[in-house]
Structure 1
Amino acid sequence: MKKLQYKVLWVALSIVGVMGCQPDLLETIPNDRISKEIFWQTLEDAEFAANAVYPSLDGTSIFSYDGLSDHLLTNHPFNANVELQRGFGTIASGRYFNEWQDAYQTIRRANDFMDNIDQVEESDQEAINRLKGEVMTLRAYQYIKLAMLFGDVPLLTSGIDIEAGRTVTRDPVSEIWDFISSDLSQAAEWLPYQNGSRIGKGAALGLKARAMLYAGRFAEAAAAAKTIIDSQEYALYPDYFELFQYEGENSQEVLLAREFAADVNSHNIYATAAPWSQIPGSTGSLYVPTQAVIDLYPMANGLPISDPESGYDQLNPFENRDPRLYHSVFLSERTPLPDGGTYGSTPGTDGSDAVQITVYSTATGYNIRKYVDEEDYTNPSNSGLNIILLRYAEVLLTYAEAKIELGEIDQSVYDAMNQVRQRESVDLPPITPEIADSASELRELVRTERSVELAFEGFRLFDIRRWELAEQVMPGVPMGRYYEEEGDWVQIRLDGFDRSFDPGRDYLWPIPQRERELNTNLTQNAGY
């Protein structure tokens, strides 16, 4: 035993002696993570760091923004959106915190990239600038959402430590828009139009056009949109339905998309949107259209259904309507389902998705058809369908709206709107000066056009805020489809699900309480 003790002591003393001779022996580089000491050396390192920012782009969450508007109902009663729709959101609501946290996590990654990219010793400066442009665009994407959701927010353009994070303050939203405009302009200079599957010049310019439209800076919005239009790099995909199916992926209409791949990087947008009957063993129908959006689709002759000359028949409400309605919504027994059957939602019947047939079936009698691809039917939670975040139709409508708000109504405004309306698979009659020539008439038309063209793509919440329409369209009981019951024509009413909107409070979300507990310098928005 004593001999063993002596040996242990000798080994211990030997180790101490060696350590004394080699003071840096324990200063090793961790082998379970990438250290800054060995990173930021090659162009490949820079590409890896830029790639780490891409996953922050929205995916299936696009529906959740419309799910807080008048156009989609959050159909599952225990979903976090429900309390917000009904006006019950508080400073502790998880949805507010998650949006804030996700945005600033992305901004932190982007700032880390921008703080370190110039350490890379690379002779190909064009490649370095291209990566900078991609990351700056991704950072701006998050700031656009933060500005629209929260108003004044901290503008962080470089990395900060924990202590600094406890003292930052909110910057005026005007400064956020200034930063977005500047960063996206610089990014556009560095980016090529075609950049493989990565962010290109069109995404930077398109997001700038969107941001400046949201900010009410119409001249900048129109200029950015016109640069894209004049480039002739993009065009409308002829088939509106296929645009949101696998056939339309990577088409010339897409400026920015979140890319996915089945079995590798998949999502569940099919399971989120499809009718309950099309998702064996799952829930489905998380968000469902309301009558409010259905009524915005004009007749095939271009007239609104409210026009006595339109030919609209309330007893046959889906006849001769804008084709985009059929492509975007599961409507009635005429709509084919992915399993080969037909959609049936009439209450009190044995239709495939009759209202109240289950707790998860549609409550309004409608379901979203965009992004419901029959290829995903057999594996609904393993979709590899790309999610479009910016497309050429939006650019055209942004240009038209900005020019109308500027009072610069010329033929280019009509051309932009009519390109969208006269897509090959839509083919509505053109808007002409004889139909509408005043700013007020054209404003109404372009807003309607935007609402139906971009339905369920995540724009409605922001649009009704910037148009200051939310207090008009949000309050009240959500309404569903009309149907015949005992000889009477009745409409589904979701009594007990009253939505509310306080214009003195609800145009902005509150700064999350958890953030204000960590940083008392963050002031709160009015009404919270």
Structure 2
Amino acid sequence: MMMMKSKNIIYALALAVMAMTGCKRDSFLDLNPDDAFSDPTFFKNESDLKLYCNGFYSTLPVMDNNSDNNSDNMVPRSKDPFLSGQYIVPIVKNDDNGEWSWKNERSVNYFLSRYQRAQAGDDVKNKYAAEARFFRALYFWQKVKRYGDVPWFSKDLNENSPELDLPRTPHKQVMDSVLADLNFAVANLPVPGSAEKGRLHKYAAAALKARICLWEGTYRKYHNLGNDQPMIREAANAAQLVIASGDYDLYSTGHPATDYYNLFIQEELQGNKEAIMPKRFIKDVFMHNLTRQLGEGNTGFSKSFVRSFLCTDGLPTSLSPSYKGDDSIQAEITNRDPRFGQLIATPGFVFQVDASGNKDLITLPRIGTSVTSTGYQRVKGRSSSLEQWNANQSTLDLFIFRYAEVLLVYAEAKAELNECDQNVIDQTISRLRARVGMPAMQIAALRKDPKSDFPGLPVLLDEIRRERRVELAAEGFRFDDLLRWNAGKLIENPESILGMKLRPEVKAQYPNQGQVKDIVLDANGYIRVYPDITNRIWNEKMYLYPIPTQELTLNPKLLPQNKGW
């Protein structure tokens, strides 16, 4: 079993194809493949095509420990520079942060300009072209999210390429090209049963298409760009393709108090029906540090996020007679969505088990330490295993594409198309709730939360967004969601940077009073993570990042700079 798993791990490959070299002319000329392979002798057979495409796999999006730190869901001890107004327009691109670096896009285009040379059948060549176009769609979408209008180029460039001096291509035009790439990938990648384990397949491409098209369609709608419905329809159709395949399901063992938590601490996701595509790890071969970082992360969920959990009667806290308030963590978790205790360390959670089997139990939130900034410590993806806690030794598999996200995309897209009936909800939201023992959503019984973040939104869409926020918490979706919904102002909510309530009687329970004596509270007794501010300020310019100034100098046709920067 161990040998089989190691053979299937593509992501650990260290390929020269991704070793980039610099360029004097422009960032579009980040040269990588032609230095790594001899052009006249490469791309001769299927093995060459596969080897080249392997180099892209390390760029697949994976949940990590910092996911959602850049949103209203979590409050890192150190302020996020972008959300706190401290971000400075960069002078030069920074490859590590993805700032105006085009090396990945060029690497794809290099392949697509040459793969037809291979002595292989059209189906084989199209399969690897589909892999490359999957990644090109991903890369250009990431550019559009960050910068808006960006140059679209479909071939690799050299110093004499006229495309170097092209202006930026309009956002919507780039995304139409992204959609074409996604459609090619869905049409030409094999179904999972025919695909090599660990490689892209039809439904992984459909999951990415659903994600991207929902983002683009709703971005167009809520930013008044027009022509939003076709993209939202594409999102619904892509999600439906995955659902109709019958290959996937939600992970459940019939234990609603633990199934959601256990889903994210598995050493083997291959074969788990919720894993459309996992990233896999193996001891002493390919490991990560997530469990250790989650125990020392200096972050925590926000009060804003915690208020989003429904009560067990299916009502928000502002409407439910079952809500017990938040004077203590014990009261706050009572009668709440069971995902509360599977996302957040609450009394009774086993923080760690030592080599002798002794359990380190959570009795009080570990505020005043590096474990959490807010008292709401993230435990999603954190195992109590000592072996997993060792630095850079974790072998827990991580999700790249998860079936729950597809269900949420389908529900939201159908609601945006005014086609979300009870049958759609029964296939999607109600199934997610059933896993954790929550009551099914009944459209006819929905009541608008008077404290909703989206007061002008129809109640059905509002509750679908709530479900998405809870189910996908700490997976890195929230900031992108705020962007596409034109909801950046939620960053200004004071509760987005507050933690738990720390009443004097709760504070007195801590055996080490030095641990809590310097914690700053607001007037209502909630932890103020940033003592110098009571709320953050959202500026409309923050819907896009600025282009590095050197790039504007190299190509003045990229001007103007993004608005406000």
TM range (shorter): 0.7 to 0.9
Distance 2:93 2:282 in 1: 27
Report if aligned partners of 1:73, 1:287 keep a CA contact under 8 Å in 2: yes
Report if aligned partners of 1:86, 1:497 keep a CA contact under 8 Å in 2: no
Distance 2:92 2:306 in 1: 30
Show the counterpart of 2:368: 356
Structure 2 residue matching 1:388: 3-state secondary structure: strand
Show the counterpart of 1:203: 204
RMSD across aligned positions (CA):
2.6
When residues 517 and 384 of structure 1 are mapped into structure 2, their CA distance, relative to the original with a 3 A threshold, is farther
Distance 2:133 2:106 in 1: 12
> Within 5 A, what are the aligned runs for 1:481-496?
481-486=500-505, 490-494=525-529, 495-496=531-532
Q: CA deviation at 1:367?
A: 2.0
Aligned AA for 2:108? Answer: A
Aligned AA for 2:500? Answer: R
When residues 518 and 243 of structure 1 are mapped into structure 2, their CA distance, relative to the original with a 3 A threshold, is farther
Show the counterpart of 1:191: 189
Aligned AA for 1:467? Answer: W
Report if aligned partners of 1:103, 1:146 keep a CA contact under 8 Å in 2: no
Distance 2:533 2:56 in 1: 38
Structure 1 residue matching 2:486: 3-state secondary structure: coil
Structure 2 residue matching 1:480: 3-state secondary structure: strand
Distance 1:43 1:126 in 2: 11
Show the counterpart of 1:402: 413
Mapped pair 1:457 → 2:494: no
Aligned residue pairs, count: 471
Q: CA deviation at 1:178?
A: 0.6
When residues 85 and 473 of structure 1 are mapped into structure 2, their CA distance, relative to the original with a 3 A threshold, is closer
Show the counterpart of 2:221: none
Distance 2:101 2:377 in 1: 30
1:219 alignment partner, one of 233, 238, 244:
233
Structure 2 residue matching 1:87: 3-state secondary structure: coil
Mapped pair 1:258 → 2:282: no
2:352 alignment partner, one of 327, 334, 338:
338
Distance 1:120 1:106 in 2: 22
Report if aligned partners of 1:221, 1:402 keep a CA contact under 8 Å in 2: yes
Distance 1:383 1:512 in 2: 37
Distance 1:83 1:457 in 2: 20
Structure 1 residue matching 2:526: 3-state secondary structure: strand
2:549 alignment partner, one of 485, 502, 513:
513
Show the counterpart of 1:431: 441
When residues 201 and 232 of structure 1 are mapped into structure 2, their CA distance, relative to the original with a 3 A threshold, is same
Q: CA deviation at 1:374?
A: 3.4
Distance 1:203 1:516 in 2: 36
2:301 alignment partner, one of 276, 284, 289:
289
Q: CA deviation at 1:227?
A: 1.6
Aligned AA for 2:440? Answer: P
> Within 5 A, what are the aligned runs for 1:95-494?
98-101=96-99, 104-122=102-120, 124-162=121-159, 164=161, 166-194=164-192, 195=195, 196-216=197-217, 217-238=231-252, 239-247=259-267, 249-250=269-270, 251-272=272-293, 274-275=294-295, 284-315=296-327, 316-330=331-345, 332-339=346-353, 340-343=359-362, 346=365, 353=366, 355-357=367-369, 360-375=370-385, 376-424=387-435, 426-436=436-446, 440-474=458-492, 476=494, 478-486=497-505, 490-494=525-529
Aligned AA for 2:564? Answer: G
Q: CA deviation at 1:156?
A: 2.3
Report if aligned partners of 1:417, 1:446 keep a CA contact under 8 Å in 2: no
Structure 2 residue matching 1:249: 3-state secondary structure: coil
Aligned AA for 1:67? Answer: N
Aligned AA for 2:314? Answer: G
When residues 381 and 344 of structure 1 are mapped into structure 2, their CA distance, relative to the original with a 3 A threshold, is farther
Report if aligned partners of 1:203, 1:256 keep a CA contact under 8 Å in 2: yes
Which stretches in structure 1 are left out of the alignment for 5+ residues? 1-31, 276-283, 347-352
Fraction of identical pairs, as percent? 28
Distance 2:382 2:391 in 1: 9
Q: CA deviation at 1:460?
A: 0.2
Distance 2:36 2:132 in 1: 22
Q: CA deviation at 1:476?
A: 4.1
Distance 2:430 2:199 in 1: 27
Show the counterpart of 1:525: 562
Distance 2:557 2:278 in 1: 36
Show the counterpart of 1:15: none
> Within 5 A, what are the aligned runs for 1:7-156?
34-59=37-62, 62-64=64-66, 66-75=68-77, 77=78, 82-92=80-90, 98-101=96-99, 104-122=102-120, 124-156=121-153
When residues 487 and 458 of structure 1 are mapped into structure 2, their CA distance, relative to the original with a 3 A threshold, is closer
Q: CA deviation at 1:101?
A: 4.6
Deviation per residue, 1:46-95 (Å, 9 max, x gap): 110010111112346x45451111111223x3xxx622121111211899
Aligned AA for 2:76? Answer: T
Distance 1:447 1:94 in 2: 37
TM-score (norm 1): 0.82
Q: CA deviation at 1:172?
A: 0.9
Q: CA deviation at 1:444?
A: 0.7
When residues 87 and 45 of structure 1 are mapped into structure 2, their CA distance, relative to the original with a 3 A threshold, is same
Deviation per residue, 1:12-52 (Å, 9 max, x gap): xxxxxxxxxxxxxxxxxxxx953223211121111100101
When residues 95 and 450 of structure 1 are mapped into structure 2, their CA distance, relative to the original with a 3 A threshold, is farther
When residues 304 and 406 of structure 1 are mapped into structure 2, their CA distance, relative to the original with a 3 A threshold, is same
Distance 1:398 1:95 in 2: 33
Deviates more, 1:259-268 or 1:200-209: 259-268
Distance 2:55 2:480 in 1: 27
When residues 34 and 329 of structure 1 are mapped into structure 2, their CA distance, relative to the original with a 3 A threshold, is same
Distance 2:205 2:87 in 1: 33
Report if aligned partners of 2:62, 2:279 keep a CA contact under 8 Å in 1: yes
Distance 2:364 2:52 in 1: 48
Deviation per residue, 1:120-159 (Å, 9 max, x gap): 111x332222222122112212222222222111212221
Which stretches in structure 2 are left out of the alignment for 5+ residues? 1-34, 218-230, 253-258, 354-358, 449-456, 508-523
Distance 2:92 2:72 in 1: 21
